[in-house]
Amino acid sequence: MDFRVHHILCTKLYKGLGYDGAFCRNMSEKVSLLREHPDTLLTLVTDPDVICANCPNLREGNFCTNGDNHVKEKDLALLAPLHLKEHEAYTYRELMEHAKAYLTEDVFTKSCSCCQWYKAGICKYEDFWSKQ
């Protein structure tokens, strides 16, 4: 299953909120699957994945609505700090271990500061370390 790099952060912090019903149902299903089966094998990508499938911001050509493809840039920017490689296969557990070992507040803020959930105070660096 393809898995976007920044979704490492999103799936850990997800609280059942989303853009609309279809997005939330899909996201909730994927997050539950990963949390219940952390040895699920995922291929790390910087393009839309199974979570993006119902995102209302996704447009033809795999761009977000604003057209600058900033989400891909966010994914690319997380690879090196988290010591990960695009198109490599990892288990969800391994991705969480990489985040636990390498995620800093600065990296988190740079990645998430443009996200509406971060701006609303729903996603915080401190919350990444809480149990789920």
pLDDT tens column, 63-99: 676 556 778 888 999 999 999 999 999 999 999 999 9
Which pair of structure tokens corresponds to residue 130?
């809480």
**CA 43/CA 90 separation, integer angstroms:** 6
Average of pLDDT values for 9-37?
A: 88
Q: Tell me, what's the pLDDT at 54?
A: 81
Residues 6+ apart with CB under 8 A from 62: 47, 48, 69, 72
**Mean pLDDT, rounded, of the chain:** 88
Higher pLDDT, 91 or 112: 91
Q: Is the dihedral of CA 83, 86, 90, 95 positive or negative?
A: positive
- Cα separations in angstroms, 71 against 67, 101, 109: 10, 23, 14
Domain count, the chain: 1
Q: Which domain holds residue 29?
A: 2-128
**CA 82/CA 66 separation, integer angstroms:** 27
